[in-house]
């Protein structure tokens, strides 16, 4: 443990050795900020600070686990376990579990994810009989989230005429009513959403001076990762907790602030010196990740931002290849270019699929890339699709488990009261909701007292409700004496969910069964993890909390797959070879983000993040035309491309000798629909008319840009008409005219 400082450069040592007082570390991309945070914690412990008195806040579970692992390797596992380290939401959920009674919540409150919140809001809109076009559940949810993150309560909303006017002008005059009802229903159901974990922690620290003092004294040293991504609510909590000792260390990069759409406030990092006048500032400017060309090109881009902290990122790494700039005719051709380039680099350099990542501005852009990769049998995984925990069958099981844990959980009850079908229809449900609201009790309470309201229900319905109540209560009793796996297993089998899907007999149903089985495997993994932890908690409550705080960004990158993801999801990751596609005006920068300097600067920071994910090779791509809304539209290259210093770029499309023909617009009523462009054939593809593929033989393995890998089965014809019959793995048997073929021999 004594020689750990030898692993740091001089820049990194300074913030690690800084013990008392506030400090900010401006850490450029790939500069080793995680290492600095980790070693600072190790150094504090080595200086006699009790691990129980250290709080480290991250934005992903993955980052927290990585740091804990490094700390345990240098110190010990028992020491790392004593640290308060995790995501903002997981740490604040832990505090709230202990102190919830102060703000009127039970300790077993349920945590709603975005889907659950949206579903509850949708029900409220329906009950209020509001126009679904004006009151879209997702829009309302995002609006509520924004208000909460800015610490604006229902009361605060009604006291702000400007906010009310904004909603009036958007034809959402009833927003305040929805917000109020949403908060009421959550409280009644003992539910907190993700934003509440921040809002209620603020409320707790403000309402209870005793609780504030307790945690101020507990957390003598506080460290915050990715400080540029914090919102106002997170800032207030961190400030409150650090006020007593002011041993606050924040690490971040203003050039990577890209989450304003979810409330992140770049002012938190830009104004840190103003908030803490006595703070020390340190810079990590050496990049260990990327080549000189990539680092300098990224610098030339971000220098166009005016709102930034002063720093110059540099590297001792090799110069590396110039950045490649590709221009394709269409998004389909762009997909084929990316897939063929991956295929070529894989074979030439014996690379794994995991060496490659394709980044885009919006998730919809993945389609053309996916199609092209599938055609040539390259395995890939898409990040940002439907998460495992968002699948219907998984949500169903979790709804049972959450209801067992919290009988007041209204949305969970609604979801499973008649699933699998048990004869409790929507009419019965509507009556229960009315009773619940009338008597201000939970729906489960209303069911438990159903004998009082027997006149409202048929005897058969009453019996079914009684059976449902008894089933849930039996699960709850079982759960109190058994672990999360045993409870989950019992619920799945007693409710006959597997039987329900098996009787359906469809392929989809079989997949759902497999997913439920995988969920059980996941619960078992959780139990095994807890067994490894000293005094680990294997309860259903702990499992549900872990699942609720699961983040898609924590999804593991599989070793043998190309990664496809939005740039937002790529933050914090790195890959040897990175493709950034769709670099066109109104796509990147987004048409939604070009109305102000602040918006443009955030889009530029987003592009900076994309560029700095690459370690060895960076390929930028844009299209001349893109298919949108049933039309082909002309595209203009992104303004950001012209902001990169061209001495770091190799434009691979300088040859403009291509053939383009137009179809009569009146006939097809499409704008500029072209025939396929014929580009100049590259020299690494065999296509010389004078010497037509003399090296190609029968049974030769070849690669085609469009059809992928294939075997030459026959060669026929002569002169310009020589053609090869090739059996492609994906496209099947095709006769290829060698005069125009884009073929490459696979050795």
Q: With left for phi above 0 and alpha for psi between -120 and 50, is residue 59 left, alpha or beta?
A: alpha
Rounded Cα–Cα distance for residues 401 and 382 (Å):
29
Tokens of 393: 């069958």
Report CA 180 to chain centroid distance, whole Å.
29
Strand arrangement, sheet containing 614-623: 380-382, 562-566, 356-360, 575-580, 614-623, 323-328, 649-651
**Torsion, Cα of 637, 638, 642, 643 (10° steps):** -170
**Torsion, Cα of 36, 38, 44, 46 (10° steps):** -110
Tokens of 161: 């005429």
Residue by residue, DSSP assigns 532-571 as HSTT---SHHHHHHHHHT--GGGPPPPTTSEEEEEHHHHT
Q: Which of 381, 365, 377, 290 is nearest to 328 (CA)?
A: 365
Rounded Cα–Cα distance for residues 363 and 382 (Å):
9
Rounded Cα–Cα distance for residues 180 and 161 (Å):
16
Strand partners, 726: 712, 734
**Strand boundaries in 267-340, DSSP class E:** 280-284, 323-328
User: 422, exposed or middle or buried, with CB in 10 Å at 0-12, 13-18, 19+?
Assistant: middle
Catalytic annotation, residues: 33-34, 225-226, 256, 613
The values of phi and psi at residue 736, to 5°, are -110, 125
Tokens 């501005």 label which residue?
Answer: 361
Tokens of 316: 């001792």
Rounded Cα–Cα distance for residues 701 and 712 (Å):
7
Q: What is the CA radius of gyration of the chain?
A: 29
The SS3 of residue 332 is helix
Q: Are 454 and 462 in contact (CB under 8 A)?
A: yes
Q: Are 716 and 723 in contact (CB under 8 A)?
A: yes
The SS3 of residue 640 is helix
CB under 8 Å to 393, separation ≥6 — which residues? 497, 501, 512, 515, 516
Helical segments of 60-160, H only: 61-74, 77-82, 88-99, 114-127, 137-149, 154-158
Rounded Cα–Cα distance for residues 256 and 312 (Å):
14
The SS3 of residue 199 is helix
- Report the run of H or E that residue 232 belongs to, with start and end: helix 232-242
According to DSSP, the β-strands at 280-284 and 248-252 are unpaired
Cα–Cα distances in Å, from 390 out to 289, 489, 506, 507, 599?
A: 34, 20, 20, 19, 31
Tokens of 646: 């061209």
3-state SS, 641-682, equals HHHCCHHHEEECCCCCCCECCECCHHHHCCCCCECCCECCCC
The b/e string for 30-44 (b: 16+ C-beta within 10 A; e otherwise) is: bbbbbbbbbbbbbbb
């Amino acid at each position: 443990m004594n020689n750990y400082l030898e692993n740091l450069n001089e820049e990194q040592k300074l913030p690690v050795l800084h013990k008392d007082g506030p400090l900010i570390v401006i850490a450029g991309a790939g500069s080793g900020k995680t290492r600095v945070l980790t070693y600072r914690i190790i150094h504090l412990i080595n200086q006699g600070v009790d691990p129980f008195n250290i709080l480290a806040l991250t934005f992903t579970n993955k980052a927290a686990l990585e740091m804990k692992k490094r700390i345990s390797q240098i110190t010990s596992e028992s020491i790392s376990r004593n640290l308060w380290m995790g995501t903002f939401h997981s740490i604040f959920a832990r505090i709230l579990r202990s102190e919830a009674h102060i703000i009127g919540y039970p300790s077993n409150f349920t945590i709603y994810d975005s889907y659950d919140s949206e579903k509850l809001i949708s029900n409220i809109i329906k009950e209020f009989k509001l126009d679904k076009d004006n009151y879209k559940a997702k829009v309302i949810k995002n609006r509520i989230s924004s208000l909460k993150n800015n610490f604006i309560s229902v009361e605060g909303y009604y006291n702000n005429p400007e906010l009310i006017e904004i909603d009036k002008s958007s034809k959402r005059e009833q927003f305040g009513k929805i917000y109020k009802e949403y908060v009421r229903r959550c409280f009644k159901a003992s539910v907190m959403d993700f934003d509440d974990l921040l809002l209620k922690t603020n409320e707790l620290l403000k309402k209870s001076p005793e609780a504030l003092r307790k945690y101020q004294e507990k957390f003598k040293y506080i460290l915050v990762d990715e400080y540029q991504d914090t919102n106002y609510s997170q800032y207030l909590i961190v400030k409150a907790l650090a006020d007593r000792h002011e041993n606050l260390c924040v690490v971040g990069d203003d050039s990577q602030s890209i989450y304003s759409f979810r409330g992140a406030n770049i002012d938190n990092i830009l104004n840190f010196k103003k908030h803490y006048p006595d703070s020390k500032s340190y810079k990590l400017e050496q990049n260990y990740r990327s080549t000189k060309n990539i680092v300098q090109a990224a610098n030339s881009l971000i220098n166009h931002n005016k709102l930034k902290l002063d720093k110059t990122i540099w590297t001792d790494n090799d110069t590396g290849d110039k950045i490649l700039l590709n221009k394709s005719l269409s998004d389909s051709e762009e997909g084929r270019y990316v897939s063929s380039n991956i295929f070529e680099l894989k074979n030439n350099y014996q690379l794994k699929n995991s060496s490659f990542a394709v980044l885009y501005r919006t998730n919809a852009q993945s389609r053309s890339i996916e199609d092209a990769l599938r055609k040539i049998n390259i395995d890939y995984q898409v990040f940002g699709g439907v998460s495992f925990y968002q699948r219907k069958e998984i949500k169903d099981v979790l709804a049972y488990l959450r209801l067992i844990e919290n009988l007041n959980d209204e949305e969970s009850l609604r979801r499973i009261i008649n699933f699998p079908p048990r004869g409790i229809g929507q009419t019965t449900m509507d009556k229960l909701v009315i009773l619940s609201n009338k008597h201000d009790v939970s729906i489960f309470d209303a069911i438990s007292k159903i004998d009082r309201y027997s006149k409202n229900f048929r005897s058969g319905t009453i019996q079914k409700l009684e059976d449902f109540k008894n089933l849930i209560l039996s699960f709850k009793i079982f759960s109190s004496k058994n672990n999360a796996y045993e409870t989950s297993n019992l619920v799945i089998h007693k409710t006959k969910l597997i039987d329900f899907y098996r009787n359906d007999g469809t392929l989809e149903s079989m997949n759902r069964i497999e997913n439920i089985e995988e969920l059980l495997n996941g619960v078992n993994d959780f139990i095994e993890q807890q067994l490894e932890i000293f005094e680990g908690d294997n309860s259903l409550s702990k499992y549900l909390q872990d699942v609720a705080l699961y983040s898609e960004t924590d999804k593991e990158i599989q070793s043998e797959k190309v990664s496809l993801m939005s740039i937002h999801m790529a933050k914090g990751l790195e890959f040897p070879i990175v493709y950034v596609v769709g670099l066109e005006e109104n796509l990147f920068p987004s048409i939604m983000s070009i109305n102000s300097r602040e918006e443009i600067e955030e889009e530029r920071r987003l592009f900076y993040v994309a560029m700095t994910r690459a370690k060895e090779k960076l390929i930028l791509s844009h299209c001349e035309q893109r298919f949108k809304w049933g039309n082909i539209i002309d595209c203009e290259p992104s303004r950001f491309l012209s902001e990169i210093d061209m001495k770091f770029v190799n434009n691979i499309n300088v040859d403009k000798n291509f053939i383009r023909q137009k179809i009569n617009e009146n006939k097809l009523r499409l704008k500029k629909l072209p025939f396929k462009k014929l580009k100049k054939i590259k020299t690494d593809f065999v296509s010389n008319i004078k010497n037509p593929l003399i090296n190609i033989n029968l049974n030769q393995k070849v690669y085609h840009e469009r059809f992928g890998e294939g075997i030459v089965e026959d060669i026929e014809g002569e002169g310009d008409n020589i053609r090869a019959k090739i059996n492609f793995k994906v496209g099947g048997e095709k006769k290829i005219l060698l005069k125009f073929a884009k073929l490459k021999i696979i050795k």
